[in-house]
């Protein structure tokens, strides 16, 4: 049996071109992690059920375990490695750190990429809108409340408000 041939393509990821050779049946998740060493994007279920693999394609959150890498060629791919501006964390990353909204952290990259896309479209999401948006991103550790609060905190700071986490948020009520 003949081995499938690799294809060569250039991906635009986090504003940088990446030329890689990969087998055509590989998912975007596999190519990001295995060929570009962008391991911030996590593989969880690989069935479209957990959200750990979420990245942005042209600004929209997508599950990279369900997308063939070839379909991402020519698109603007953004991963969690592209959220910070150099050494400066994004407001979402700051808020997650301030509130302890990540425990094991496995779900966090996917949640950040989903929430970032939400805040790009909606500067003042309601708690229900945040919940709905993050419904496909599962977290086994935090119980999700601090995650919702972190998104609200980041949104407030992005709007220029001097928002600080409440003591209840940090220590629990
Ligand atoms: S790894 Fe993609 S949804 Fe779970
Ligand atoms: S922090 Fe562990 S799964 Fe979310």
Longest dimension (CA), the chain: 64
Within 31-133, where are the H helices?
Answer: 91-99, 108-121, 127-133
Kindly state the helix (H) or strand (E) to which residue 35 belongs, with its residue range. Answer: none
Considering the entire predicted model, what is its pTM?
A: 0.94
39 ligand 2 Cβ < 6 A = no
Q: CATH classification of 91-165, choosing from 3.40.50.300, 3.90.110.10, 1.10.150.120, 3.50.30.30?
A: 1.10.150.120
Judging by DSSP bridges, how do beta strands 7-13 and 16-22 pair with one another? antiparallel
Give residue 172's pLDDT: 55
Domain 7-82 has CATH 3.10.20.30: yes
137 ligand 2 Cβ < 6 A = no
Closest atom of ligand 1 to 63 CA is 2
Q: Which sign, positive or negative, has the C-alpha torsion 37, 38, 39, 42?
A: negative
Percent of the chain having pLDDT more than 90?
89
pLDDT at 68 over 80: yes
pLDDT at 96 over 50: yes
CATH 1.10.150.120 residue ranges of the chain are: 91-165
CATH 3.10.20.30 residue ranges of the chain are: 7-82
DSSP tag of 15:
T
Q: How far, CA to CA in Å, does 156 sit from each of 58, 92, 139? A: 24, 10, 23
44 ligand 1 Cβ < 6 A = yes
């Amino acid at each position: 049996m003949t081995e499938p041939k690799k294809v060569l393509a250039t991906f635009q990821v986090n504003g940088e071109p990446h030329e890689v050779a990969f087998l055509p049946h590989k998912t975007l998740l596999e190519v990001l992690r295995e060929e570009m060493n962008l391991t911030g994007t996590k593989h969880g279920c690989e069935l479209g059920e957990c959200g750990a693999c979420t990245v942005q394609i042209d600004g929209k959150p997508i599950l990279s375990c369900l997308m063939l890498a070839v379909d991402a060629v020519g698109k603007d791919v953004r991963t969690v490695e592209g959220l910070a501006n150099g050494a400066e964390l994004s407001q979402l990353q700051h808020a997650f750190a301030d509130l302890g909204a990540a425990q094991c952290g496995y779900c966090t990259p996917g949640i950040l990429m989903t929430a970032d896309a939400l805040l790009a479209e909606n500067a003042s999401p309601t708690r229900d809108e945040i919940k709905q948006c993050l419904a496909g991103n599962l977290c086994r550790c935090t119980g999700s409340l601090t995650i919702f609060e972190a998104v609200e905190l980041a949104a407030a700071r992005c709007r220029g408000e001097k928002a600080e986490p409440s003591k209840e948020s940090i220590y629990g009520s």
